[in-house]
């Protein structure tokens, strides 16, 4: 076997990498808990991240979706009862409160907008019941989107090749500074190294809404539709630069779109001046702060542009 001499300069680099990983694990590891649930259909398990010393724990909604009882177990092995304070299927996040008389070690949510592809990513969780398991890799890509369990796409996911397995769901994805940059949520079955986490900035937004309302407020227009190409002859004539829009398939009677005069067969081109290039773009626009606020919708009806005032309602 051919021996390849190593440069004497490699050892410090490897040691620096090891030190960064171990320091991050020491900082965040105590805040990662095992989550066990029992319900009418049996039990399940996952992971969670303590985000405040008074016992607030972020995990995945699919981990606790049908839970009757929830128990979290701290990294040192102490079990605690927990309650589900709220969940959001659209981002696959849930908020628990662990019952503890003493303050708990908490992790800090970092700024996922500052992430760079290629930087170190460390996953901490409880895969297949093996507690406090650490895997490491890199941030493979940013801004990924996957179909969510609530029907909306989960946006702005962090893709990593740090190995995730069943039981890692709800655990922490950490950077080398010991900041939580994501909540691990999904793997692609049959693939290797394709793992995803809900970005920390999304988690922070959802956390605030769940604390305040017990749910995440989102707006709705009361219509269904599909992505459709904008006819080129209309696009040229009207100066529309986008290639796609939303073809309205149905309108809820008495809903915001119906009251605004939007009808089946309309092409929804833009809303509040923002291009609607597909259903995903429309869903991204329909955030909670749009509820009750009038916006101008630009639609094409048989090639005729119409500007209609629509007031989104809160989605049930």
**Which residue among 112, 132, 140, 169 is the active-site one?**
169
State phi, psi for 177 to the nearest 5 degrees.
-90, 0
C-alpha count within 13 angstroms, C-beta hemisphere, residue 130: 9
**Which residue among 34, 47, 62, 90 is the active-site one?**
62
State phi, psi for 55 to the nearest 5 degrees.
105, 10
Question: Would you call 62 a catalytic residue per the annotation?
Answer: yes
Question: Would you call 92 a catalytic residue per the annotation?
Answer: yes
**Which residue among 88, 90, 92, 175 is the active-site one?**
92
Question: Would you call 34 a catalytic residue per the annotation?
Answer: no
3-state secondary structure the chain: CCCCCCCCCHHHHHHHHHHHHHHHHHHHHHHEEEEEEEECCEEEEEEEEECCCCCEEEECHHHHCCCCEEEEECCCCCEEEEEEEEEECCCCEEEEEECCCCCCCCCCECCHHHCCCCCEEEEEECHHHCCCEEEEEEEEEEEEEEECCCCCEEEEEEEECCCCCCCCCCCEEECCCCCEEEEEEEECCCCCCCEEEEEHHHHHHHHHHHHHHCCCCEEECCEEEEEEECCHHHHHHHCCCCCEEEEEEEECCCCHHHHHCCCCCCEEEEECCEECCCHHHHHHHCEHHHCCCCEEEEEEECCEEEEEEECCEECC
Known catalytic residues?
62, 92, 169
């Amino acid at each position: 076997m051919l021996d390849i001499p190593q440069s004497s300069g490699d050892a410090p680099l490897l040691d620096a990498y090891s030190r960064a990983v171990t320091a991050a694990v020491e900082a965040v590891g105590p805040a990662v808990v095992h989550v066990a649930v029992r319900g009418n259909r049996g039990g399940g398990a996952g992971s969670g991240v303590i985000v405040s010393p008074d016992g607030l724990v972020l995990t995945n909604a699919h981990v606790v979706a049908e839970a009757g009882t929830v128990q979290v177990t701290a990294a040192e092995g102490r079990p605690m009862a927990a309650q589900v304070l709220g969940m959001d299927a659209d981002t696959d996040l849930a908020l628990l409160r662990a019952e503890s008389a003493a303050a708990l070690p908490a992790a800090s949510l970092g700024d996922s907008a500052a992430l760079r592809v290629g930087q170190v990513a460390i996953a901490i969780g409880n895969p297949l019941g093996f507690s406090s398991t650490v895997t490491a890799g890199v941030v493979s890509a940013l801004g990924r989107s996957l179909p969510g369990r609530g029907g909306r796409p989960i946006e702005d996911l962090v893709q990593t090749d740090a190995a995730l397995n069943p039981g890692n769901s709800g655990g922490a994805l950490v950077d080398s500074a010991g900041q939580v940059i994501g909540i691990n949520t999904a793997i692609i079955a049959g693939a290797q190294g394709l793992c995803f986490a809900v970005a920390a900035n999304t988690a922070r937004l959802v956390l605030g809404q769940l604390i305040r309302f017990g749910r995440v407020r989102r707006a709705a227009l009361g219509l269904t539709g599909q992505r459709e190409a904008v006819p080129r002859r209309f696009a040229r004539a009207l100066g529309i630069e986008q290639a796609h829009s939303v073809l309205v398939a149905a309108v809820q009677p008495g809903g915001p779109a119906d009251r605004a005069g939007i009808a089946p067969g309309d092409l929804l081109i833009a809303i509040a001046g923002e291009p609607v290039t597909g259903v995903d773009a429309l869903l991204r626009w329909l955030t909670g702060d749009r509820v009750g606020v009038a916006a101008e919708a630009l639609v094409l009806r048989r090639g005729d542009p119409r500007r209609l005032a629509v007031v989104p309602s809160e989605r049930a």
